[in-house]
Amino acid sequence: MQDWKLQPAHDLGLPLSQQLRSVRREGGLVNACVVIAWSAIVLVYLKLYHRLRVEGLENLPASGSFVLVANHCSHLDALVLASVIPWRMKSRVHPIAAGDTFFSSPLRGIVSTLLLNALPMWRMKVCSHALSDLRQRLLSESCVYIIFPEGTRSRSGRMSPFKSGVGMMLASTAIPVVPCGIRGTFKALPPDRRVPRPARIDLKIGVPFRLTSLSDNHDGWHKAALAIQAAVSALSGSSTSSDSDRPAG
């Protein structure tokens, strides 16, 4: 029998303001209960107001860490993806959200943490250290990330080239990548609209794949982004706004 060892929380000792803005943040019982309750409300809303239809639920891994990756047109996208995660895993789901939008104030940070369990990514100062922390968390814990590699919502409904940051997190690892295609969220809630329309939303979940054969360097990161982009494009039915562009790091 192995000796039991106490593992302190990674965010132990951090002030609340820093905990909210840290990718090492860990939740507790209250956070888990709030996330599950909010998820139930969101699922009812999506089913009734947007007639959410999901295809490919059987492709979701039953256990362990994995990453849901999708096209991004609306603030509804993360809610749609989180809604399909099995209830036993809800408290382990972390949308990777734009820090300058969802954590720009203490109130927004608290809401994003309690309701979405989101982890921040600062778009204006993305660094390898933050991406390394996110990668390590996937490898050492059992968690689920929701990632939109375009970096921001589409302003036209077409997909933008994927940034290679997603490759920095996943290249050379055995973490399953689950590609997803979302349709209808741009019509329901485009970036220039505040109140959602009752448009129908469809989600198609693809077969998971791994990027173990790709090297953990710039070339591997770029190839990983392209591979994920191609899988998402096939499911969403959306070509990129500039298919010839290389994903920017």
Residues whose CB falls within 8 Å of the CB of residue 172, separated by 6 or more in sequence, listed in order = 211, 212, 214, 215, 216, 220
Q: What is the pLDDT of residue 246?
A: 40
Q: What is the mean pLDDT of the chain?
A: 86
Q: Do 149 and 123 meet the contact criterion of CB atoms below 8 Å apart?
A: no
pLDDT, tens digit, 9 for 90 and up, residues 15-38: 555 555 556 667 677 788 888 999
- Split at pLDDT 50, 70, 90, the class of 113 is confident
Beta bridge partners of 202: 53, 183
Q: What is the mean pLDDT of residues 170-185?
A: 97
- Split at pLDDT 50, 70, 90, the class of 202 is very high
Residues whose CB falls within 8 Å of the CB of residue 114, separated by 6 or more in sequence, listed in order = 31, 34, 35, 38
Q: What is the pLDDT of residue 19?
A: 58
Q: Do 41 and 78 meet the contact criterion of CB atoms below 8 Å apart?
A: no
Give the range with max mean pLDDT: 24-38, 84-98, 166-180. 166-180
The residue type at 37: A
Q: What is the mean pLDDT of residues 87-100?
A: 87
Q: Do 205 and 89 meet the contact criterion of CB atoms below 8 Å apart?
A: no
* Whether pLDDT at 134 is above 80: yes
pLDDT, tens digit, 9 for 90 and up, residues 27-75: 677 788 888 999 999 999 999 999 999 999 999 999 999 999 999 999 9
- Split at pLDDT 50, 70, 90, the class of 115 is confident
Q: DSSP H helical segments within the chain, as ranges?
A: 16-20, 29-49, 76-83, 99-102, 106-111, 128-140, 165-170, 185-188, 218-236
Select from 36, 31, 34, 29 the least CA-distant residue to 20: 31
Cα dist. 11→14, 91, 94 in Å?
6, 17, 16
Q: What is the pLDDT of residue 34?
A: 87
Torsion of CA 52, 71, 88, 9, to 10 degrees: -150
Q: What is the pLDDT of residue 190?
A: 95
Q: What is the mean pLDDT of residues 218-236?
A: 97
- Please compute Rg for the chain using Cα positions: 17
- Split at pLDDT 50, 70, 90, the class of 174 is very high
The lowest-confidence range among 4-18, 85-99, 118-132 is 4-18
pLDDT, tens digit, 9 for 90 and up, residues 239-249: 665 543 443 33
> What structural domains and CATH numbers belong to the chain?
30-236 (3.40.1130.10)
- Split at pLDDT 50, 70, 90, the class of 100 is confident
The residue type at 152: T
